[in-house]
Amino acid sequence: MRGNVIVTPPSTFRSAEDFADLAGDTVLGAVRFSTAGGPPRWEHGLPVLPLHMVRPGEAEVVEVWHTDGDVVRTGEHEGLLYAHDGEVLFCAGWIGPSADCGEAARQAYLAAFELVEGLGYRNVVRMWNMLEGITDRSARGTEVYRDFCVGRGKAFDERGHAMPASTGIGSLGGGVAFYFLAHRSHEAVHLENPLQVPAHEYPPQYGPRPPSFARATYVRPEQGRGSLYVSGTASILDHATVAAGDVARQVQVTLANIAALIGADNLARHGIDGGYRLDDLRAVKVYVKRPEDVPIVTRLCRDEFSRRAEVAVFTVDVCRPDLLVEIEGMTP
Ligand code: 3EB
């Protein structure tokens, strides 16, 4: 599967200025990793989700979702802003600060499933969830992330929808925001990792409702090579956090998890030919809990990923207090 052809991944990281030049040409939408979060909005006629993921003095990153379709259509459904090109749908939503983000998440996810079913983009391949105060105590006296998992899980149950690759991560403000990608005809093959218990089977010690996501999703076109979306991955073996307090080992365990997930043996287990290595990944995002760990985490990641990979690093909380790092990426 590795070759010397340079292929453009479906997303790239850009500066704020670049987005204006690209928009209207070959773009579906964008996510602004910036100093303030809020509801999705229209920029240059395209859906853009602002996320509070950047501290003062850090560089803003715009994640631009590209399309090779000719016609991009846009719309709004129950506060969700979306764009689609006939094959791919990009959609952004915002729950905002709320006393019970679980029920709000349930409603937002139900609206999302209604949208993909109504528009015919039924194959949801990748979701991202950014939660302010993710491990804080919620107004219900439980935990924000656990409340979120309860409501999200109900929505998956109610619609009977397959669980795609996902990220659940902290943000610095703005309540809960989410965005996702869905396909019309390309099949979504959801992958698990032999080194990890499926997240949706985590035992109850991590919360009343295990998180609803797969470890990765492979998008299989009718012909040609597909692409693989790797979920936010952390230093978890089976269901337990490994190397609490040791950020370097957490990075190593996380990278080993990803390598096992995307390697040929695991793809074969899921009926997919070929295999990938860490240096095949592009558009990598690294979430680091403690600002002081950013240099070592960045160095360890740079050693493993390709020099052609864009790597964006954000300093935010992870969904378990003992997790210091989470890493995601995709193959072009
Ligand atoms: C884990 O493996 C780490 O709730 O959507 C990773 C990816 C994590 C997605 C989610 C959570 C989510 O459990 C946390």
User: Does the beta carbon of 319 lie inside 6 Å of ligand 1?
Assistant: yes
pLDDT (tens digit, 9 = 90+) per residue, 312-326?
999 999 999 999 999
Residue 9 predicted with pLDDT over 80: no
Active site residue 326: yes
Q: Is the ipTM reported for this complex over the cut 0.95?
A: yes
Q: What is the mean pLDDT of the segment spanning 134-150?
A: 96
Query: What is the reported pLDDT for 109?
Result: 98
Distance 305 CA to ligand 1 centre (A): 21
What is the pLDDT confidence band of residue 26, given thresholds at 50, 70 and 90? confident
Nearest CA owner, ligand 1 atom 6: 232
Instruction: Look at residues 94, 76, 73, 95 and name the one whose alpha carbon lies nearest to residue 85.
Output: 73
Sign of CA dihedral 113, 128, 149, 52: negative
Q: What is the mean pLDDT of the segment spanning 195-202?
A: 98
Buried b / exposed e over 238-266, threshold 16 CB at 10 Å, is eeebbbeeebeebbbbbbbbbbebbbeeb
pLDDT (tens digit, 9 = 90+) per residue, 282-306?
999 999 999 999 999 999 999 999 9
Query: What is the reported pLDDT for 3?
Result: 28
Query: What is the reported pLDDT for 24?
Result: 58
Q: Which of 132, 143, 326, 328 is catalytic?
A: 326
Residue 14 · residue 62 · CB < 8 Å: yes
Query: What is the reported pLDDT for 74?
Result: 97
Query: What is the reported pLDDT for 25?
Result: 65
Question: Best substitution site from 202, 213, 316, 327 to test ligand 1's pocket, by max atoms within 8 Å of Cβ?
Answer: 213
Output the six-digit token pair for 54: 């950047």
Q: What is the mean pLDDT of the segment spanning 74-89?
A: 97
Domains of the chain and CATH, by start: 11-330 (3.30.1330.40)
User: How far apart (Å, rounded) are the C-alpha atoms in residues 268 and 274?
Assistant: 8
| Mean pLDDT over each residue of the chain, to the nearest integer | 93
What is the pLDDT confidence band of residue 116, given thresholds at 50, 70 and 90? very high
Query: What is the reported pLDDT for 99?
Result: 83
The helix or strand, by DSSP H or E, that contains position 233, with its residue range, turns out to be strand 227-233
pLDDT (tens digit, 9 = 90+) per residue, 103-113?
999 999 999 99
Output the six-digit token pair for 192: 């698990």
Query: What is the reported pLDDT for 7?
Result: 42
